[in-house]
Amino acid sequence: MKKPSIPTFLSSFPDSGTLRFQAFDLLATLVAVVRTNGCVVFANAALEDALGTSRRTIEGSQLPECFTEPHILKHALEGAGSNEFAALRYDAWLRRLNHEPMPVHVVVAQTDTPGEAIVEMLPLEQQAKQDREERLIDQAQANKELIRNLAHEIKNPLGGIRGAAQLLQMEIGKDLTEYTQVIIHEADRLQSLVDRLLAPHRRPHLVGDVNIHEVCERVRSLILVEFPKGLRVVRDYDTSIPEFRGDREQLIQAVLNIAHNAAQELAQHITAGNATITFRTRVARQITFGKKRYRLALELHVIDNGPGVPDSIKDRIFYPLVSGREGGSGLGLTLAQTFVQQHHGLIECESRPGHTDFKLLIPLP
């Protein structure tokens, strides 16, 4: 992306654009007000968010350079400048920092001020994303019911089975206790599985002030105790994120489950000494997830450079009992999703070989 050059007329009135166009910050659509030479006068919060760059950086820079094909917008703006049209629409790809380009529908329209145009960018994936999130939330609700009922059905006879095996053990000769031991051992294993399944439903929601960086630091030290060599855990924190009301222990468990998966998938990289997990926190503004729109939300990314989530289970990793790992019970992510949803948030995953990004979104007050 081109280095921004702040034009003199803007640097002497740094807030002039912000004041005039403040209302655009309330829109979910990405909006920029530009001069017809492409120079950005104002960028709204949604655009700032999508580009992953601050408003100060965007304003004064060339908007066409934010697209994979800058010439299309350049021509469009020239056309707007010479009154060739009142509004023009086309599809394009917006380049983003640390992200894949985003497909958008661009609308270029003239304003009342000569030499100025409004560029509106509607993310094409927004609708698809919203559908996906709604599905995730519905699915989590259905999962919760199913798990709770199933867990109780398993739990009830377990105590009886274990007790009967113990009684049997006392009655039979030593040479057969090997078999009763198997029954007792397996009953215990099932018991602990069921306890994990029921844990999120049973535990009270202990609400207090949560500092997300304290949560990350706690998880970081737990992971480093377990994987002391060959794994780097990088912090990339936005320390301006405010505290929020929540259950600290639940959130630690959620982040730990995600980071623990990452560390497990990084086994080969750990041996090679180049395994990295990154904790990145950011603030997202005017964000929509599920069916709701939030003014402010916290984004925590847990990123690893491991092999990525296998394609065969990619769509189902948040389902209970889905595991791609030998010996995995497939509950870690289900629990993490439940805990984050109890904070009205959501976990999403983007994964390709070498880069897996679990994003926790939690609304801020």
Ligand X SMILES: Nc1ncnc2c1ncn2[C@@H]1O[C@H](COP(=O)(O)OP(=O)(O)OP(=O)(O)O)[C@@H](O)[C@H]1O
Could you tell which of ligand X, Mg ion, none binds residue 120, using a CB distance below 5 to 8 A set by kind?
Answer: none
| Contact status, residue 349 vs residue 359, Cβ threshold 8 Å | yes
* Residue in the structure block whose two tokens are 């049209």: 85
CB closer to ligand X, 61 vs 257: 257
Cβ 190 to ligand X shortest distance, Å: 14
- Per CB under 6 A, 325 contacts ligand X: yes
The set of residues, in sequence order, having a beta carbon less than 8 Å from that of 78 and lying 6+ positions away, is: 36
Torsions phi, psi for 345 (to 5 deg)? -110, -165
CB closer to ligand X, 38 vs 320: 320
Only segment of 26-34, 35-43, 218-226, 254-262 that touches ligand X (CB under 6 A): 254-262
Could you tell which of ligand X, Mg ion, none binds residue 48, using a CB distance below 5 to 8 A set by kind?
Answer: none
> Taking the CA atoms of the chain, what radius of gyration do you get in angstroms?
26
CB closer to ligand X, 49 vs 265: 265
Helix, strand, or coil (residue 323): coil
- Per CB under 6 A, 147 contacts ligand X: no
Instruction: Choose, by CB under 6 A, the member of 356, 359, 360, 363 that binds ligand X.
Output: 356
Instruction: Choose, by CB under 6 A, the member of 304, 339, 346, 360 that binds ligand X.
Output: 304
- The number of residues that bind ligand X (CB under 6 A) is 22
Point out which residues pair with 123 in neighbouring strands. 104
* Residue in the structure block whose two tokens are 């929601």: 205
- Per CB under 6 A, 257 contacts ligand X: yes
Could you tell which of Mg ion, ligand X, none binds residue 205, using a CB distance below 5 to 8 A set by kind?
Answer: none
Residue nearest to Mg ion (CB): 332
Let me know the angle formed at the C-alpha of 156 by 150 and 161, rounded to the nearest 5 degrees.
120
| Contact status, residue 277 vs residue 234, Cβ threshold 8 Å | yes
H/E stretch holding 42 reads strand 40-43
| Contact status, residue 126 vs residue 144, Cβ threshold 8 Å | no
Q: Which two tokens stand for residue 103?
A: 């497909």
- Per CB under 6 A, 306 contacts ligand X: yes
Which chain residues interact with ligand X by CB under 6 A?
257, 261-262, 265, 304, 306, 308-310, 317, 322-325, 328-334, 356
